[in-house]
Structure 1
Amino acid sequence: LIILICFSAINMPKKEQIRELEYEYAKNGIPVISNNSAHRWTPDVPMIIGEINSEHANVIPIQQKNNGFTRGFIVVKPNCSLQSYLTPIYALEKAGYKVDKLIITTLQAVSGAGYPGVPSLDIVDNIVPYISGEEKKTEEEPLKILGKIGESGIENDNSIQISATCTRVPVSYGHTASVNVKIKGEIKFQKRVDKVLQEKDRYQSYKLAEQKTLPPEVRQKLEKINLLHEKAVKEEKLGQYPRVLGRYEFLLELYKSIPKEIMNFTKEIYETENKIESIREKI
């Protein structure tokens, strides 16, 4: 059996057992993508939200050097409710507003408790006002995600104060967060809101092309990808399927032409191939 990659969502009695298991996979040359919290505070393990800190993947060589890994490594995702509100917080900072303090209240669905979930007598017609360990994660994980890469790993952004209250609510799926944001300095509202709205599309529109570290020809291809995708979406809504098919076929060629060591578009290639088949059925 050849294992190319390990997705870890295992439940074990102790976090240390999960840490050791994930470490062994990485030690044996297998990349580990973990849903667990066991390695979230290991300094050289990146905790990534793609729209915010994809560049933290650059800490992986440090991790491999520190642990003697060859091909293997460990990457983790953050706590389940963070993605909903941390992305606009990041956008505010990118727009020029330095966040001073966050007061966060989460209303988290029962699905987040995992199997077998919350006892029915606790959750039916009720709100559970405390989730063990959840407030600590909510207050501390953003500091790592918004941090920067140092010599030995990720250095937290400790300039932000976070106070959190985390509750469990009688909803099957979907977390909600109420976030109060205190900004340092004066706010020129409309000008900055426009910048925030532009920033929210950073990941989807491949503004990574603006990074000077990428070769010029790759930046040009990424700009073409963005333009082609926008046109294909508009034309598909108008039912212009032959033209849409050509767009996606060209997109597929562009994705495949970019070396994986620069940017890995495996997911996009798979999705585009499926899209091409779907469009062909409509013609």
Structure 2
Amino acid sequence: MTRVAVLGATGAVGQRFIQLLSDHPTFEIAALTASADSAGSPYREAAKWRVDTPIPEAVADVEVVETTPEAVPDDVDLIFSSLPSSVAERVESDFCEAGYVVSSNSSNERGADDVPLVIPEINPDHLDLIEVQRDNRGWDGALVKNPNCSTITMVPTLATLDAFGLERVHVSTLQAVSGAGYSGVTSMEILDNVIPYIGGEEEKMETESRKLLGEFDGSQVQWHDVEVSASCNRVATLDGHLENVWAELSDDPTVAEIYAAFDDAATQDLHSAPDPLIETFDEPDRPQPRLDRFLGNGMAVAAGGVQETPAGVQYNTLAHNTLRGAAGASLLNGELLDRNGWL
């Protein structure tokens, strides 16, 4: 078994990590970290458990430790980070310097030239950037990132459309409240309302997409030259980010060819990888968050409502934002790191 630790284990994404790791065939939880206020408490007391399955008995009485390399056992092979970015930017490098490999959901350093930003089904070869990172930073460990939850919803479909000459993308998102964390949006803000702005979200979609779709040339990632414009909106759904995408293409594929390309999107032979990666719907009113967010155990991307436009194609896409878009994405990166011998 591969021994793992979870940084920020008491938060919303940290709890998803615990849920996903509870019956994992390869990964075994060896340490859980949180703030100094929670350190020393059993996990069941430190975490206000809010996930839709019971707290796993195997971790309920595990003592939470502080988020420092010294508090994590030396025999831990892989660390999953669900820390707030303000904390992650201060401490993740400490773990990497101490020799740990960190698969992180936090947004800090996603755009750094020597940090792999990875979706395993899309750009697994970007993990080779780890060698550049180690040379640059003198680390024995490594830092790998997964993208933002709204980016990861859209990019698998864009990667498929790139075969038709992807030139320009416009996207409008309808993002669930869980993406802001348990206390992120109050009921008075979101009930009977839509908030047409999410700080930093649009920039993440516009930049992360280009890095993910880029080519690794052995020393750096050459970002894709597609132009991406995003408008991000918070809506009153609990889980599942729905996005309306307009993609301008140099080729002129039919709707049937688009659906066929989505259906044939490559997946990975990893425990948490969905098969198929993209599940498609012919209906114009699908996918929908309540109906489709748990496809592929919450790890699949859904697409539907495909229509031709004068410049390309318009469609809807959906993914579960705390599973595929957060903890599940880091977990999948961890499985890829383990399989490819980086641990």
Map 1:37-52 to 2 at 5 A. Answer: 37-52=107-122
Map 1:4-43 to 2 at 5 A. Answer: 4-11=77-84, 14=86, 17-43=87-113
Provide the rounded CA distance (Å) in 2 between the counterparts of 1:26 and 1:34: 12
Give the CA deviation at 1:125: 1.1
Post-superposition Cα deviations, 1:76-96, rounded to whole Å, max 9, x if no partner, equal 010002222211211122xx3
1:65 partner amino acid:
D
* Aligned twin of 1:61: 131
Give the CA deviation at 1:69: 1.4
| Aligned sequence identity (%) | 32
Give the CA deviation at 1:154: 2.1
Provide the rounded CA distance (Å) in 2 between the counterparts of 1:204 and 1:111: 29
Provide the rounded CA distance (Å) in 2 between the counterparts of 1:67 and 1:81: 30
Provide the rounded CA distance (Å) in 2 between the counterparts of 1:83 and 1:11: 19
Map 1:249-260 to 2 at 5 A. Answer: none
Contact (CA 8 Å) 1:63, 1:153: kept in 2 or not?
A: no
1:9 partner amino acid:
S
Give the CA deviation at 1:4: 2.5
Provide the rounded CA distance (Å) in 1 between the counterparts of 2:119 and 2:142: 17
More strand by share: 2
Contact (CA 8 Å) 1:7, 1:32: kept in 2 or not?
A: yes
Give the CA deviation at 1:156: 1.2
Give the CA deviation at 1:58: 1.1
2:146 partner amino acid:
K
Provide the rounded CA distance (Å) in 1 between the counterparts of 2:338 and 2:124: 15
Provide the rounded CA distance (Å) in 1 between the counterparts of 2:158 and 2:101: 30
Provide the rounded CA distance (Å) in 1 between the counterparts of 2:154 and 2:219: 28
Provide the rounded CA distance (Å) in 2 between the counterparts of 1:53 and 1:141: 12
TM-score (ref. length: structure 1): 0.66
Map 1:1-283 to 2 at 5 A. Answer: 1-2=73-74, 3-11=76-84, 14=86, 17-70=87-140, 72-93=141-162, 96-150=163-217, 152-157=219-224, 159-187=225-253, 190-191=256-257, 193-198=259-264, 200-203=265-268, 263=340
Provide the rounded CA distance (Å) in 2 between the counterparts of 1:110 and 1:192: 31
Provide the rounded CA distance (Å) in 2 between the counterparts of 1:261 and 1:7: 13
Unaligned runs of 5+ in 2: 1-72, 271-336
More helix by share: 1
Q: RMSD of the alignment, in Å?
A: 2.5
Give the CA deviation at 1:196: 4.2
SS at match of 2:122: helix
Provide the rounded CA distance (Å) in 1 between the counterparts of 2:209 and 2:150: 11
TM-score (ref. length: structure 2): 0.55
Paired residues, number: 204
Provide the rounded CA distance (Å) in 2 between the counterparts of 1:180 and 1:19: 34
Contact (CA 8 Å) 2:155, 2:209: kept in 1 or not?
A: yes
Contact (CA 8 Å) 1:43, 1:152: kept in 2 or not?
A: no
Provide the rounded CA distance (Å) in 2 between the counterparts of 1:80 and 1:262: 24
Give the CA deviation at 1:121: 1.2
Provide the rounded CA distance (Å) in 1 between the counterparts of 2:227 and 2:170: 9
Provide the rounded CA distance (Å) in 2 between the counterparts of 1:261 and 1:112: 28
Post-superposition Cα deviations, 1:48-87, rounded to whole Å, max 9, x if no partner, equal 11110111111111111111112x0000010002222211
Provide the rounded CA distance (Å) in 1 between the counterparts of 2:81 and 2:232: 25
Give the CA deviation at 1:201: 3.7
| Residues 1:204 and 1:82: Cα distance change in structure 2 (over 3 Å) | farther
Unaligned runs of 5+ in 1: 206-259, 267-283
